[in-house]
Amino acid sequence: MAATELVEGVLQGDRRSLARLISLIENEDPSVGYALSQLYRHTGRAHIVGVTGPPGSGKSTLVDRLTTEYRRRNKTVGIVCVDPSSPFTGGALLGDRIRMQGHALDKDVFVRSMGTRGHLGGLARATSDTVRAMDAFGKDIVVVETVGAGQSEVEVIDLAHTILVIDVPAAGDDIQAIKAGIMEIADIFVVNKSDLPGADKKAAEINAMLDTDPRERAWRPPVMMTNARGGEGIAALVDKIVEHRKYLEDSGLLAQKGLQRSRDELRTIMSYKLTRELMEKLEGRPEYEQALRKIAERDDDPYSVAERLIAEFLVDYGRSVKENGERKRR
Amino acid sequence: MAATELVEGVLQGDRRSLARLISLIENEDPSVGYALSQLYRHTGRAHIVGVTGPPGSGKSTLVDRLTTEYRRRNKTVGIVCVDPSSPFTGGALLGDRIRMQGHALDKDVFVRSMGTRGHLGGLARATSDTVRAMDAFGKDIVVVETVGAGQSEVEVIDLAHTILVIDVPAAGDDIQAIKAGIMEIADIFVVNKSDLPGADKKAAEINAMLDTDPRERAWRPPVMMTNARGGEGIAALVDKIVEHRKYLEDSGLLAQKGLQRSRDELRTIMSYKLTRELMEKLEGRPEYEQALRKIAERDDDPYSVAERLIAEFLVDYGRSVKENGERKRR
Q: How far apart are the first and last CA of chain B?
A: 45
Pairing type for strands B141-147 and B47-53 reads: parallel
Mean per-residue pLDDT of chain B: 85
Q: Does the beta-carbon distance from A40 to B301 stay under 8 Å?
A: yes
Q: Which residue in the set B33, B152, B255 is minimally distant from A151, CB to CB?
A: B152
Residues 141-160 of B with CB under 8 A from A: 149-152, 154-155
Nearest CA in chain B to A56: B173
Q: Does the beta-carbon distance from B310 to A277 stay under 8 Å?
A: yes
Give residue B90's pLDDT band: very low, low, confident or very high (50, 70, 90): very low
Q: How far is B193 from chain A (nearest CA, A)?
A: 19
Q: Does the beta-carbon distance from A321 to B302 stay under 8 Å?
A: no
Does the beta carbon of A308 lie under 8 angstroms from any beta carbon of chain B? no
Which of A152, A154, A161, A304 has the highest number of chain B CBs within 10 A, making it the mutation to test binding with B?
A152
What contacts B279, CB < 8 A, 6 or more positions away? A267
pLDDT tens, residue by residue, B242-282: 999 999 999 999 999 999 999 988 998 899 888 988 999 89
Q: Does the beta-carbon distance from B322 to A322 stay under 8 Å?
A: yes
Q: A188: helix, coil or strand?
A: strand
Contact A234, A228 (CB under 8 A): yes
Q: Which fold has domain B43-251?
A: Rossmann fold (3.40.50)
pLDDT in tens, chain A (330 residues): 688 899 999 999 999 999 999 999 988 888 888 999 999 999 999 999 999 887 788 898 999 999 999 999 999 999 999 876 554 333 344 444 445 566 777 889 999 988 765 555 677 888 999 999 999 999 999 999 987 655 566 677 888 999 999 998 875 444 455 555 667 789 999 999 999 999 999 999 889 888 887 777 889 999 999 999 999 999 999 999 999 999 999 999 999 999 999 998 899 889 988 898 899 989 889 999 999 999 999 999 999 999 999 988 888 776 776 676 666 555
Pairing type for strands A162-167 and A188-191 reads: parallel
Does the beta carbon of A102 lie under 8 angstroms from any beta carbon of chain B? no
Amino acid (one-letter) located at A232: E
Q: Which residue in the set A180, A299, A309 is minimally distant from B270, CB to CB?
A: A309
Q: Which residue in the set A86, A258, A306 is minimally distant from B270, CB to CB?
A: A306
Q: How far is A208 from chain B (nearest CA, A)?
A: 18
Does the beta carbon of A68 lie under 8 angstroms from any beta carbon of chain B? no
- Mutual angle of helices A253-282 and B302-329, in 10-degree steps: 50
Give residue B1's pLDDT band: very low, low, confident or very high (50, 70, 90): low
pLDDT of residue B96: 45
Nearest CA in chain A to B91: A180
Q: Which residue in the set B85, B172, B292 is minimally distant from A149, CB to CB?
A: B85
CA separation for the pair A324, B22 (Å, rounded): 48
Please enumerate, as own/partner, the contacts of A13-22 that have beta carbons within 8 Å and a separation of 24 or more. A13/A137, A13/A138, A15/A107, A15/A110, A18/A110, A18/A133, A18/A134, A18/A137, A19/A112, A21/A133, A22/A112, A22/A130, A22/A133
pLDDT of residue B92: 41
Percent of chain B predicted with pLDDT > 90: 53
Pairing type for strands A47-53 and A141-147 reads: parallel
CA separation for the pair B87, B191 (Å, rounded): 29
Does the beta carbon of B296 lie under 8 angstroms from any beta carbon of chain A? yes
Does the beta carbon of B319 lie under 8 angstroms from any beta carbon of chain A? yes
Q: What is the DSSP letter of A7?
A: H
Contact A140, A109 (CB under 8 A): no
Which of A114, A266, A276 has the highest number of chain B CBs within 10 A, making it the mutation to test binding with B?
A266
Contact B151, B47 (CB under 8 A): no
Pairing type for strands A162-167 and A47-53 reads: parallel
Nearest in space to B137 (alpha carbons), one of B286, B225, B294, B10: B10
CA separation for the pair A249, B318 (Å, rounded): 44
Q: Does the beta-carbon distance from B151 to A87 stay under 8 Å?
A: yes
Contact A208, A186 (CB under 8 A): no
Does the beta carbon of A121 lie under 8 angstroms from any beta carbon of chain B? yes
- Mutual angle of helices B302-329 and A302-329, in 10-degree steps: 80
Q: Does the beta-carbon distance from B152 to A155 stay under 8 Å?
A: no
CA-based radius of gyration for chain A: 24
Does the beta carbon of A265 lie under 8 angstroms from any beta carbon of chain B? yes
Chain A residues with CB inside 8 Å of B270's CB?
A: 275, 278, 306, 309-310
Q: How far is A70 from chain B (nearest CA, A)?
A: 26
CA separation for the pair A268, A108 (Å, rounded): 32
Q: How far is A105 from chain B (nearest CA, A)?
A: 32
Q: Does the beta-carbon distance from A296 to B36 stay under 8 Å?
A: no
Chain B residues with CB inside 8 Å of A152's CB?
A: 84, 120, 150-152
Residues 203-222 of A with CB under 8 A from B: none
The answer to which of A183-187, B82-86, B200-204 has the lowest mean pLDDT is B82-86
The sign of the torsion formed by the CA atoms of B151, A127, A147, A101 equals negative
What contacts A6, CB < 8 A, 6 or more positions away? A17, A20, A21, A24, A31, A35
Pairing type for strands B188-191 and B77-83 reads: unpaired
Q: How far is B72 from chain A (nearest CA, A)?
A: 30
Which of A146, A209, A292, A324 has the highest number of chain B CBs within 10 A, making it the mutation to test binding with B?
A292
Does the beta carbon of A60 lie under 8 angstroms from any beta carbon of chain B? no
Model pTM?
A: 0.76
The answer to which of A199-203, B12-16, B94-98 has the lowest mean pLDDT is B94-98
C-alpha angle with apex B278: B273 to B282, nearest 5 degrees? 145
Contact B165, B200 (CB under 8 A): no
Q: Does the beta-carbon distance from B315 to A321 stay under 8 Å?
A: yes
pLDDT of residue B172: 46
Contact A140, A157 (CB under 8 A): no
**Helix-then-strand count for chain A, H and E:** 13, 7
pLDDT of residue B330: 54
Q: What is the DSSP letter of A140?
A: S
CA separation for the pair A259, B297 (Å, rounded): 8
Nearest CA in chain B to A120: B151
Region for A142 from its dihedrals, namely left if φ exceeds 0, alpha if ψ lies in -120 to 50, beta otherwise: beta
